[in-house]
Each structure stands twice: as structure tokens, then as C-alpha cells.
Amino acid sequence: MAVKVLIVDDEKEFASTLAERLNIRGFDAAAVYSGQEALSLIRARDIPDVVLLDLKMPVMGGIETLAAIKEFDPAIEVIMLTGHGADCSTNDIQKGRIFGHIMKPSNVNEITEKITKAAAKRSAGGKQER
């Protein structure tokens, strides 16, 4: 069964192109363009294995969206997408709020590798190496 990935990014072209590239590589990827859209899907029980979540979005930012996702289902692995790596603290990783972060722009191979590790952690019940 393919790893289900939800990309949440207000940069529509980036998000939709990344979803297409991930689908070509065998993932079940979809893109939404706001935190509100992501939460609507997740609450409707369309639950992804991994969420790629943009840190900086209007209205509902990445940190607020992250908190709502984790409140709904703490087992969903979240990888933050950021153009500002310092905005994703190692504290968030250490406390298990996020699996890690990826700097934008990024190589699709790096992204698929990180998604695969996050999905493995989720299926192992949170015990997988990063």
C-alpha cells in the first residue's frame, strides 16, 4: 500500500508539482493550499501517513496547523517545509511534534527519503530512527 502524503502549502504551483512528482514515485500524494483545508480533510477521516507542512502560510500558519493535526491524531508524522531552517527548532523535533524539516527549495529525492523514514516511524508505532 502506498504511503499517503498530504502537502499543505499556500504556494499552489509548488504544492501541486510536488504532489505530481511524489505520485510518479509511487506515493499517494495530494496537495491542499491552507491549514484549514488540511484540517477539513483530516477531520473527514482522510488521514495521511505523512504531512508536508509549510511553516509560513497566511491566516493559519504551520505551527497552528501542526498543533491542530497533533491534537486530532498525534501519530500523523509531520515534516515542516521552510525557507528558514532556524524557524523549525530541534526542540520541536526532540519533543516529537515534528519528524523533521526540509528547506525549500529541495531535491525531490531528499523529500522522498524523509517521507519514507517518517512513514516507517508511523508504522512502527513511533520507534523508527530519523
Strands of the sheet containing 50-54, edge to edge, are 28-32, 4-8, 50-54, 77-82, 100-103
d(CA 68, CA 99): 16
| DSSP at 85 | G
Q: Residue 13: is its pLDDT beyond 80?
A: yes
Q: Tens of pLDDT along 22-34?
A: 999 999 999 999 9
Tell me which range, 52-56, 84-88, 90-94, is most confidently predicted by mean pLDDT: 52-56
Is 33 within a domain? yes
Single-letter amino acid code for the residue at 13? E
Cα separation of 55 and 42, whole Å?
18
SS3 4: strand
**Candidate from 10-19, 89-98, 116-125 with smallest mean pLDDT:** 89-98
Range of the domain at 41: 4-123
Please check whether residue 72 lies inside any domain of the structure: yes
Domain annotation covers residue 22: yes
Strand partners, 80: 53, 101
**Is the pTM above the cut of 0.85?**
yes
In a domain? residue 128: no
Q: Is residue 130 part of a domain?
A: no
Asked if residue 98 is part of any domain, the answer here is: yes
C-alpha cell at 2: 502506498
- The CATH number that applies at residue 49 is 3.40.50.2300
